[in-house]
Each structure stands twice: as C-alpha cells, then as structure tokens.
Amino acid sequence: MPPALSDADRDRLDELHDLLQRKQRTFVGYPCTAGFDYSDLFRFLALPINNVGDPFGHSTIHLHTRAFEREVLDWFASLYHAPAGEWWGYVTNGGTEGNMYGLYLARELYPNGMVYYSQDTHYSVSKNLRMLRMQHIMLKSQPHGEMDYEDLRETLRLHRDVPPIIFANIGTTMREGHDDIARIQAILHDLAIPAYYIHGDAALCGMTLPFIAGAPVFDFRAGAHSLSVSGHKFIGSPIPCGVVLALKRNVDRVARSIEYVGTLDTTVTGSRNAFTPLVLWHALRTHGREGFARAVAGCLERAEYAVERFRQQGVAAWRNPNALTVVIPRPSQAVLEKWQIAVQDHIGHVIIMPHITRDQIDELAEDLGAHSS
C-alpha cells in the first residue's frame, strides 16, 4: 500500500479546506469564478499525463490529452473568428504566458520592433518585456482605462522607422477599459505604417464580449495577430490556465523539431499541463455558448445592481459599458481585507463573476457604507 498521511496531517488539510471555503464567500475583488464542479475529471489526477510539445503533432509520449486540447482550441478559434487553416494555439498556464507568447512571436517577426502599451496594462507585461529584452514605450491611458490614442499617434509618428508592436488591452486590470483595435489600425494606416504586430490581452473579456450584443470587436476580424484569454477567470478552474491563439505563419518561424519527445517545440514550456485542457473541455461541453451567454447576461445585470446599491450607500461607484468590473473609491482596510478587494492608488474594484449573488452585493454595500469616510 502507498504511504498515508498521519491523522495530524489530515486534520491540517481539513482545517485549510474549511478556511478556504469560508474565504470563498467574500472573494469579490479578483476575476476568478468559483463554484464549479469538475469531479468527473478527478480520476485523471492519478495519471502522469503530459501534453509536451505541439498540440497538433505526434509525440513518443502517449500519456496526453492532445485530442481534447485541440477541441478546446477549435472552440476558441471559432469564437474569435480565426481564419480557417491559418491559425494555431495551445492551452497555457494562464494569461501571462499567453501574453508572453504573443510578444515572443512579435519579437521574432520584428527583432528591432518597439512595443507600445498603456499605463493601465497588467503588471506582468512589463516583466515579460524585460525577460524578452524588447524595447518598449508606455503610453498614457484615458480616465476610464482605455489607451490614449492621441498619445499613440504622436509616439508612433516620432518612431516611424521602427516596426510597432501594439499590446492592446481587451479589458484593463482595474477599470476594464477596452483598447479599440480598429482605431489602432486606422492610426497605423493614417501614418502609412505597413509592418506592425497587434496582440490582444483578453484575459477576462475574451469570455464576455463575444456574448454581448453590440460589444466591440477585438478578435482576428479586427486585425489581431494573436490573442490570449484566461481559463480560470470567467470559465472557472481550480488550476490557473488559458488559451493563446496566433496566426500560424508567425508560429512556423519559431517551431523546432525535438527528437527526444518526438514532436515540434512551439510553446513556451516543454512539459505542459494535460489536466487543464480537460477542465476547459468539460466547461465548454457542459455550458456551451448559450450557457455562457446566460452567465454573462446575469453578471451584467448584477454589476449594474451593484453600482446602484453602492451609490445608495454614498459610494461613488461606476463601471464601463459592457463591464463586470465596478470601480469604487479605495475602501477602508477592514473592508479590503474582508472582501479581498484589489486596489491601485485611490481606487478599488469589485468584479461581478458568476458566483457573486445579490445577497453578497447587499452585504458588501452595507460594509462599504458603514466604513465610508
């Protein structure tokens, strides 16, 4: 028999589980969905599965879930209108890896390119740029979080001799502002810049905007060369994960054949999680587009409800169009700690994910009102 934990160790795990379950009830400041059930998949945790290498190739390692991964990628490629036969992708460890991959492809295409990104961009992007040693310029943001397009235009004009790499936020971290890829394309056209690369970071909004009538188009139709979306955010997963999609012609530039594992090396990491593709597959199969559309509609309704309830308590709450993020003045430390609210400078935010109920919003509104200055 395999070795077993001691009673004391089991007690520690029980205590941790009870604590995390309690904390989940007041988890409102970060874009992660709770309340999912993947028990159908638990048996696969007893197997050493590994999706090493390219999801579309073969491998000498047969313990993998590549077929399920490809179904996940097909689903997202259809959702984002990737050109048939011209796209590629894989299931990542999360948004940071997906964004790194897009920047990596851009660097290989334009080794002397200049990356442009706004000051509201996720903190991990500047880290990615340092790791990839890419020259970059941070642009101003508008008050609601969207890129300042006049700053982009003027900065591009001053660096016309360098191919631009645009890092577009499809939902900024704190305010959920959306950079307009069509407008960015128009600026590039006006300045007669023929060679450029656009990557879209759609970590949260990649699973909301496609299900909202009249929402901005941000995908391959708009001119994106690559897109990254998170799986543990709106979909929900016990393990951080995501999907990156890119134009295949750019991926082919970085592909290398590796005899040791009998497959192409096209991803950031060698060994890759083979369990998270099953998680995403399970979610896509059980919810479907109609299920996600209903979930998004419910979240939008409760987000507007949260704005109204917070304002009733004297809190100056607001949100961008089509956003699940409700921006509020930075709350007291007591509220911040209880509700796990993310803050930056003078603001905080609450993100209305599928597990957030009206009762939770009401309780939070009371706490915000009681602790407001």
In this prediction, residues 20-41 reach a mean pLDDT of 95
| pLDDT value, residue 57 | 86
Q: CA of 204: how far to CAs of 30, 90, 264, in Å?
A: 10, 18, 30
Q: What is the pLDDT of residues 244-289, one digit of tens each?
A: 999 999 998 887 765 556 667 888 998 999 999 999 999 999 999 9
Q: Mean of the per-residue pLDDT values for the chain?
A: 95
For tokens 């390692």, name the residue: 61
Strand locations in 202-248 (E): 226-230, 242-247
| pLDDT value, residue 262 | 61
Answer for the pair 261, 58: CB distance below 8 angstroms, yes or no: no
In this prediction, residues 281-306 reach a mean pLDDT of 98
| pLDDT value, residue 16 | 97
Q: CA of 302: how far to CAs of 100, 182, 202, 284, 360, in Å?
A: 33, 30, 22, 23, 11
Q: Whose CA is closest to 256, among 238, 268, 244?
A: 268
* Spatial separation of the C-alpha atoms in residues 369 and 204, rounded to whole Å: 28
| pLDDT value, residue 261 | 60
Residue 101 makes CB contacts below 8 A (sequence gap 6+) with 92, 226, 228, 244, 246, 267, 268
The CATH architecture one would assign to domain 43-284 is 3-Layer(aba) Sandwich (3.40)
Q: What is the pLDDT of residues 115-145, one digit of tens each?
A: 999 999 999 999 999 999 999 999 999 999 9
In this prediction, residues 324-337 reach a mean pLDDT of 96
For the chain, which residues make up each domain, given as ranges?
Answer: 7-37+288-371, 43-284
Answer for the pair 129, 104: CB distance below 8 angstroms, yes or no: no
In this prediction, residues 106-110 reach a mean pLDDT of 96
* Spatial separation of the C-alpha atoms in residues 346 and 324, rounded to whole Å: 20
| pLDDT value, residue 216 | 93
Residue 183 CB-density burial (10 A; 0-12 exposed, 13-18 middle, 19+ buried): middle
DSSP string, 24-69: HTT--SSS-------GGGGGGGGS-----S-TTS--S-----HHHH
Tokens of 227: 């897109």
CATH number for the domain whose boundaries are 7-37+288-371: 3.90.1150.10
Fill in the DSSP letter of residue 145: S
Q: Cα angle at 358 between 237 and 234, to 5 degrees?
A: 20
Answer for the pair 128, 92: CB distance below 8 angstroms, yes or no: no
- Return phi, psi of residue 275, to 5°: -85, -40
Q: Whose CA is closest to 208, among 299, 131, 301?
A: 299
In this prediction, residues 307-329 reach a mean pLDDT of 97
- Identify the bridge partners of residue 304 per DSSP, sorted by sequence position: none
| pLDDT value, residue 258 | 58
Q: What is the pLDDT of residues 205-230, one digit of tens each?
A: 999 999 999 999 999 999 999 999 99
| pLDDT value, residue 373 | 56
Tell me the whole-structure pTM to 2 decimals: 0.95
371 has a pLDDT exceeding 80? no
